[in-house]
């Protein structure tokens, strides 16, 4: 996934009210950017760190920038939670995820029951629903999810079980937007109920796939499937 517009560099002053971040641009101007990430953003918020923003030309938007990434220990971490959905869609269309290859029709935002899943894919022999989650938290050499209690995430897992019971393939896809980790696992201490729900989903046939994305100011691309510790 390449960025359509050139990103704007700055330094993070602070993140607050979950959805706002004050940034000082290279020009010295201070701006407020929209933060799409509603989680705690543990291990990926560091005041004074370099960041990149996308300029937004929308008269309806109060904030004229969207926060895309932050430099942590010399590596870019993607914090825009809108990116993984598009990244996953492009990767499945282009056959870039080995376990999700072979689909001839791929659509975004498709309903099943009272839930809407990020991706629906099918071919002549199979249908598949995919829910996508953004992962940024690092503990040791592992990327962990979630970084805050996620009741909405648990609901998606319950519905994925129903998808599987109906005879349709069900996949939980985690996209890790940082390259300084080796494994993917659950942040059980933060949300034990989510960890329990994921294990229940796996026992009922829901597949878990974790992939790592390399983030840069020019593009974000999936580089490999990650080992899991679940």
φ/ψ of residue 17, rounded to 5: 50, 30
Residue 58: what pLDDT?
A: 87
Tokens of 202: 């796996």
Please tell me the distance from the alpha carbon of residue 186 to that of residue 90, in angstroms, as a whole number: 26
Residues in the chain: 230
Task: Please report where in the chains the tokens 């359509």 appear, as a residue.
Answer: 4
φ/ψ of residue 157, rounded to 5: -65, -40
Please tell me the distance from the alpha carbon of residue 117 to that of residue 214, in angstroms, as a whole number: 24
CATH class of 8-78: mainly beta
Domain boundaries along the sequence of the chain: 8-78, 83-229
pLDDT, tens digit, 9 for 90 and up, residues 3-53: 988 999 999 999 999 999 999 999 999 999 999 998 899 999 999 999 999
User: Which of 125, 145, 127, 120 is closest to 135 using CA atoms?
Assistant: 145
The CATH number of domain 83-229, selected from 3.30.70.100, 3.40.1350.60, 3.40.50.150, 1.10.10.1100: 3.40.1350.60
> Per-residue confidence of the chain (230 residues) as pLDDT tens digits?
999 889 999 999 999 999 999 999 999 999 999 999 988 999 999 999 999 999 998 888 899 999 999 999 999 999 999 999 999 999 999 999 999 999 999 999 999 988 899 999 999 999 999 999 999 999 999 999 999 998 889 999 999 999 999 999 999 999 999 999 999 999 999 999 999 999 999 999 999 999 999 999 999 999 999 999 98
Tokens of 8: 């704007």
pLDDT, tens digit, 9 for 90 and up, residues 208-222: 999 999 999 999 999
């Amino acid at each position: 996934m390449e960025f359509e517009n050139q990103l704007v560099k700055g330094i993070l002053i602070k993140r607050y009210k979950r959805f706002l971040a004050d940034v000082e641009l290279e020009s010295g101007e201070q701006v407020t950017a929209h933060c799409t990430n509603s989680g705690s953003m543990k291990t990926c918020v560091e005041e004074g760190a370099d960041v990149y923003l996308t300029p937004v030309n929308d008269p309806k938007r109060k904030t004229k920038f969207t926060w895309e990434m932050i430099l942590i220990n010399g590596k870019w971490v993607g914090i825009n939670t809108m990116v993984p959905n598009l990244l996953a869609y492009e990767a499945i269309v282009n056959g870039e995820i080995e376990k999700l290859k072979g689909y001839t029709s791929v659509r975004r935002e498709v309903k099943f029951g009272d839930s809407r899943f990020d991706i629906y894919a099918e071919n002549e022999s199979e249908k598949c629903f995919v829910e996508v989650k953004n992962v940024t938290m690092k503990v040791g050499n592992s990327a962990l999810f979630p970084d805050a209690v996620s009741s909405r995430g648990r609901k998606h897992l319950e519905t994925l079980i129903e998808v599987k019971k109906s005879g349709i393939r069900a996949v939980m896809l985690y996209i890790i937007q940082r390259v300084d980790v080796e494994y993917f696992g659950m942040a059980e201490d933060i949300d034990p109920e989510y960890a329990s729900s994921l294990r229940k989903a796996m026992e009922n046939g829901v597949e878990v796939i974790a992939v790592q994305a390399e983030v840069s100011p020019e593009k974000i691309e999936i580089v490999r499937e990650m080992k899991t510790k679940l």
